[in-house]
Each structure stands twice: as C-alpha cells, then as structure tokens.
C-alpha cells in the first residue's frame, strides 16, 4: 500500500518577489521573545518549522539577529519570511497562502510575553463605518501578490 503524498503548502511575501513551497511541517507556534516581536513588528512571531522548504521564486535577504539565528525577509517589500538556526528553518505563518494550514498549537518564550496579549480578544469591536471610510475602501486597488503561485509576477500590463 502506498503512502499518500503530503500536501504541498505554498506561500511568499506581499509583493511576490519571494515564494516558497513545503510538504513537511513541524510544530507551528507563536514566539513571544523580544527578537520575534521586533522582527515581525508585532506582539509575537508566528512560525512553523519547515523540514523541507524550498524557495521557488527569488530568495530572502537575511539579517543575523543573534549569534545563533538569522531572519529572512523580502528585500523588496520587507515581509518577514523565515527564522533559521542550526536546528533548521521556520517559516512565517502569515506568509503561507493559507495560514490556517499552519495554525499555531503552542506558545513559546513566555518571559517576554507582553501583558496586553491575553486581553486582546476582549477589546471592543468597531462595527459601524462612515460613508467616507466605505468610499476609501472601495477605491483601493491591491498590488499584493495573490495567495497562490503564479507563473509571472507582477502581471504584464494589458496594452
């Protein structure tokens, strides 16, 4: 009996200059360390271990964030993409075409966890919108790469 092929997961940066593919993920997590907070510009770093990732378009630029780790990002748009140590590569969960394919299952490095983190879901939700805001949203044309692989990017302009 043959073993079914592992699902192919893809992703990349916001502008489409760097894309990746992986079929074997390890544990997805959110890391609360201060380096992840700064690298992602957020309250935590969402990462999934990628045992066999390949860069399928372009490659990230790397920043040596410590003596033990480096962080990969798109040199064109700045999207955080990866974290690498001697233990292997981890990919940014938000960079996956379908981030739910790598939904976090654990939190790590709680010593730097921001106190506000546990209260975020209890913040009030704004549901009303003004005509001005609706007009603003209606006028947006996204230059973001779609959430799937493309042969060429950016698309050729139609003449």
What is the tens place of the pLDDT at every residue in 67-98?
999 999 999 999 999 999 999 999 999 999 99
Please indicate, yes or no, if residue 25 is contained in any of the structural domains: yes
74 within a domain of the structure (yes/no): yes
- What pLDDT shows up at residue 154? 74
What range does the domain containing 106 cover? 9-117
Identify whether 2 is part of a domain: no
- When divided into structural domains, the chain yields a total of 1
* The pLDDT of residue 159: 41
Q: Which residues contact 13 (CB under 8 A, 6 or more apart)?
A: 19, 73, 74, 76, 77, 79, 81, 95, 145
d(CA 16, CA 24): 22
Confirm whether 128 is domain-assigned.
no
Question: Residue 141's pLDDT is what?
Answer: 86
CA-wise closest residue to 149 among 10, 5, 9, 7: 10
Within the chain, which residues score under 70 in pLDDT? 1-6, 155-159
**Is residue 123 in a domain?**
no
Cα 52 from Cα 106, distance rounded (Å): 21
* Measured distance between the N- and C-terminal CA atoms of the chain, rounded to whole angstroms: 53
Is 66 domain-assigned? yes
* Mean per-residue pLDDT over the chain, rounded: 92
CATH number of the domain that residue 19 is part of: 2.170.150.70
Evaluate whether residue 33 is within a structural domain: yes
pLDDT of amino acid 128: 87
Do the domain assignments include residue 110?
Answer: yes
């Amino acid at each position: 009996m043959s073993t079914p092929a592992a699902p192919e997961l893809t992703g990349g940066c916001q502008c489409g200059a760097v894309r990746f593919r992986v079929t074997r993920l390890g544990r997805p997590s959110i890391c609360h360390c201060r380096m992840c907070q700064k690298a992602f510009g957020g309250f935590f770093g969402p990462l999934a271990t990628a045992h066999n990732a390949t860069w399928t378009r372009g490659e990230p630029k790397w920043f040596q964030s410590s003596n033990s780790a480096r962080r990969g990002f798109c040199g064109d748009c700045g999207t955080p993409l990866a974290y690498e140590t001697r233990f292997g590569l981890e990919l940014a969960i938000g960079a996956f075409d379908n981030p739910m394919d790598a939904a976090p299952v654990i939190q790590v490095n709680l010593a730097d966890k921001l106190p506000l983190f546990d209260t975020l879901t209890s913040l009030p939700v704004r549901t009303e919108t003004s005509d001005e805001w609706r007009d603003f949203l209606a006028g947006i044309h996204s230059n973001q790469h779609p959430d799937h692989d493309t042969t060429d990017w950016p698309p050729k302009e139609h003449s």
